[in-house]
Amino acid sequence: MSDHGTNGAPDGFKLLTAEEVAEMLSVPERWVRDASREGRIPTVKLGRYRRFRRDAVFAWIEAREVEGRGRK
């Protein structure tokens, strides 16, 4: 079994659209587009298009994960 995506690139290098990232994060697509323009989420610029590397998005999510604190 191969670790390559349908575009022939390794899965981690698969480029996602803002719509796909929004679905992954359960946020509005507009939030993803704004975060991309503001540099708050890792983005690949392809001319006027912005795409998101799958592995970079997962790393970005993990970097923001926080431990829950119990109630006092």
71 located within any domain? no
Nearest Cα residue to 50 out of 24, 27, 16: 16
Asked if residue 35 lies in contact with residue 41, where contact means CB atoms within 8 angstroms, the answer is yes
pTM for this structure? Answer: 0.75
Locate tokens 């970097």: which residue?
63
69 located within any domain? no
Q: Check residue 70 and give its pLDDT.
A: 62
- Structural domain total, the chain: 1
44 located within any domain? yes
Structural domain harbouring 44:
11-63
50 located within any domain? yes
Q: Check residue 67 and give its pLDDT.
A: 76
- The overall average pLDDT reported for the chain is 86
pLDDT in tens, 14-33: 999 999 999 999 999 999 99
Residue 5 has pLDDT above 70, yes or no: no
3 located within any domain? no
